[in-house]
Structure 1
Amino acid sequence: MTIAAHDADERRIAARALLADPVLTAHRHSEQLALVRKHSGALKSTFARLLGYALVVETGFARLVKTPLSPDAPVRPARRPSGGEFTPRAYAYLALVCAGLLASDVGEQVLVSQLVEQIRADAATTGITIDDTLAERRDLVAAIDFLLAWGVLTETDGSVVAWGERREEALLTVNRSLLPHLVARPLYPLARPELLWADDPNVPDQPRRSLRRKLVENPVVHRGDLSEAERDVLSRERTELTRILEESFGLGLEVRAEGALAYDADERLTDVAFPGTGTVRQAALLLLDALIEVLEPKATGQVILDGRAVTGVLAPWQVVDDKLGDLALRHAKAWRSDVVNDPARFRDEVVHLLASVGLATVVTEGVVVHPAAARYRPSVRDVSATTRAKRRLGADPQEMQDPLFTDETGETA
């Protein structure tokens, strides 16, 4: 490999690391940060020119500041360590914690109790009511955990969880150099959770750049959600677009009549694995097969959603419930009983997964199944029981395994 090819490979690895985790710290990502720092100039230019993202690189951290997601993008909420989504109250606490840490009297280290006092004072100033209930403390702990995960805070003595549950004191160390870059825009004029966005969502964007950003960030880009200018770029400049995505981010481009996707052959960039193992992922994959068989979504099919046409076919809730009920009965012995025995939870988790990977859109009447879902139709291979005679005859070991759910790309669910 030539020096130029080696450097290009390192830049691609560094860019992928930043896309997967927009905050890299020396403590948590020493190798990735070293590559980012080595190629910081080229990476700053690449992200700004191709995606409109700002990259901040310092000695101990790198921060990729992204722009707002497009309206058609799946919602990507902040999550608790347990996997649960942030509540509105947790988002409010996140803003208050950021503001509290930026207070002039907060130094390199701060006690949780001191930080809470600052948060309460800021909340009172802005007219936000804070109660001292266990639920409130857990939302505050979730906000602080978010900053711990990003390396903005470090637990030096004690733990935030212990404070939340038993009021035990904890000492936090603040990454003062990273903290100002966590919030991309001033806090005071914002009425919506735009704290981590780089640009104003109301400013018109360049169609080439906005299309590249949608392909990099969204699991599936629906053609109907593209502007006329973006569709023109996708049609006329597909070869160049394919080259840019591959060279810069290691992504392949797949274009179909209903839309496009940039896929990662290494399966490391996605924050939501699909298909995959587990009850919800297997149920989601099989539900797609059942709905596609009944509804037969086509690239030309459309459903009107909030005044705009969404490509796909509507699966009424009754149909979704019936199909999931059949699947739950069929696979009751293999799937988690705590999930399948709660139909409302089961449906919510399965539908949420399909929506998060862009294969479905949730509406009041049911679920709009996108034609791209056909790409994941599984083929179920039933395996007969292995007899002693078969074993004596040397049956293929592969045939002795349990039944597998395999999607059309050959991946095991």
Structure 2
Amino acid sequence: MTTSTGTVAQDTTGRRHAARVLLQQPILTAAQDPETFELVRRHATSLKSMFADRLGYTLVVDTSFVRLTKAPIEGSAPSRPLRRGNGDEFGATAYMYLALVCAALLAPGTEDRVLVSNLVDRIRVDAEEHGIELGDTLSERRHLVSALHTLQEWGVLGESDGDGGHEADVPGEVTLTVDRALLPHLLSGPLHKAAGPAAVLSSPVPEPPTRRLYRRLVENPFVARADLDADALDVLVRDRAELTRLLDEDFGLVLEVRTEGALAYDPDGELTDVPFPGAGTLEQAALLLVSELTDRYETEPGDDLHVDTGTLDAVLGELAATHARTWRRDYVRDVPLLRRDVTSLLARLGLARPFEDGLMLAAPAARYRPTAAERSAT
């Protein structure tokens, strides 16, 4: 009996760990992380069922890769853009290069090993055929490099060791290996069948309120009651105990429900794509801004706080002057830029949203109000 109980506990722990990894890393390859890849394969059946039933996700488990395709995000949800190596968000040009690289790799006749120079030539031919003008500036080359690095991080591309005896092994050239089986799974479905951009970003069929609520709790740092429809709010009240059990069992998350809304947080502080607080300039500025505003303005529990642009710039300007020696120089020199990026970060965290002339600070931001001891120490 002890052995059986221990095995069940190990299986539960292993399945939960695999699910947590997949939330953070929806593309997993055997070459990059063989241990976790095998763990996912071991629990593939239960993971597929759990992700599909509770979140509306699709899990594909192949012989060399695993791909978790998440559901389309809601229109009101903060964006989660791709980021370059320096942390900057992908813009339209970078996404264009990413699409062109993928199209070139999927072209008939493309082999599993390609020269970078041949790939670039293929991209330029494809772009010209579709009326896309490509420049040869340093900026555009950086966008191309960002696209290639992203595909390398996903495991679609890898650098060849050059010992395969292939004709692509040319001295002075970089040869890439291509996982052509994974490429078609980067998107949730074929674009040529979609009616338009909106169709790609929307769910084809209505979903039950339990699934919609569960997904929001897993995906978002905070879910406000005001943002829930009547059916989802009813599920939160009626099935709170069951939601608590499932969130812990599936992902090790703890459900907390308060007057202003609900959140499912990770006690280990690992299950997030936006760590906060953090060490970077934006993270520090956002935390200090929230602390200053929540300390300056007394609000009732559960209330949001509207802060105008003038106040934001004044507070951030003071903070930038105080931390001028350690913060990024472009933010110290350009307070409106700092305000824009801090607002964007707080929106991704669910702590604020842009609102008319300024921002609306959400009630959960009060969690970062400084204590009396912290205030006296400053």
Q: Same fold (TM over 0.5)?
A: yes
In structure 1, the residue matched to 2:351 is 359
Out of 245, 248, 251, the residue aligned to residue 250 of structure 2 is 248
Judge which range, 86-95 or 37-46, deviates more.
86-95
Distance 1:345 1:62, change over 3 A: same
Out of 26, 30, 33, the residue aligned to residue 30 of structure 2 is 26
Out of 114, 126, 130, the residue aligned to residue 126 of structure 1 is 130
Aligned-residue offset at 1:298 = 4.5
In structure 2, the residue matched to 1:283 is 285
Distance 1:188 1:296, change over 3 A: farther
Aligned-residue offset at 1:324 = 1.5
In structure 1, the residue matched to 2:189 is 185
Distance 1:31 1:293, change over 3 A: same
Cα-to-partner distance string for 1:325-371 (whole Å, 9 max, x where unaligned): 22334445665555334323332332222112110112341111001
Q: TM-score, normalised by structure 1?
A: 0.81
Aligned-residue offset at 1:138 = 1.7
Aligned-residue offset at 1:52 = 0.7
For the pair 1:153 / 2:188, whether they are aligned, the reply is: no
Which stretches in structure 1 are left out of the alignment for 5+ residues? Answer: 159-167, 302-311, 385-402, 405-413
Contact 1:157 1:170 in 2 (8 A): no
Q: Distance in 2 between matches of 1:67 and 1:233?
A: 20
For the pair 1:371 / 2:375, whether they are aligned, the reply is: no
SS of residue paired to 1:272? coil
Distance 1:347 1:50, change over 3 A: same
Q: Distance in 1 between matches of 2:325 and 2:142?
A: 35
Distance 1:58 1:380, change over 3 A: farther
Judge which range, 277-286 or 236-245, deviates more.
277-286
Q: Distance in 2 between matches of 1:123 and 1:192?
A: 20
SS of residue paired to 1:2? helix
SS of residue paired to 1:188? helix
Q: Distance in 1 between matches of 2:316 and 2:199?
A: 37
Judge which range, 365-374 or 171-180, deviates more.
171-180
For the pair 1:84 / 2:88, whether they are aligned, the reply is: yes
Q: Distance in 1 between matches of 2:57 and 2:301?
A: 32
Distance 1:95 1:188, change over 3 A: farther
Residue 16 of structure 2 aligns with an amino acid whose one-letter code is R
Cα-to-partner distance string for 1:155-200 (whole Å, 9 max, x where unaligned): 2269xxxxxxxxx7421100122122222211335543987x7xx4
Distance 1:383 1:248, change over 3 A: closer
Contact 1:297 1:369 in 2 (8 A): no
Contact 1:72 1:225 in 2 (8 A): no
Out of 319, 325, 340, the residue aligned to residue 317 of structure 2 is 325
In structure 2, the residue matched to 1:340 is 332
Contact 1:287 1:324 in 2 (8 A): yes
Contact 1:251 1:264 in 2 (8 A): yes
Structure 1 vs Structure 2 CA RMSD: 2.5
Q: Distance in 2 between matches of 1:334 and 1:107?
A: 49
Going by fraction, where is helix more abundant, 1 or 2?
2
Distance 1:105 1:219, change over 3 A: same
Contact 1:65 1:184 in 2 (8 A): yes
Cα-to-partner distance string for 1:193-249 (whole Å, 9 max, x where unaligned): 987x7xx43532211111111111111112222222111111111110010100011
Contact 1:279 1:336 in 2 (8 A): yes
Which stretches in structure 2 are left out of the alignment for 5+ residues? Answer: 163-171
Q: Distance in 2 between matches of 1:335 and 1:30?
A: 39
Q: Distance in 1 between matches of 2:343 and 2:94?
A: 24
Cα-to-partner distance string for 1:275-297 (whole Å, 9 max, x where unaligned): 23343323212211222234445
Count residues in correspondence.
Answer: 364
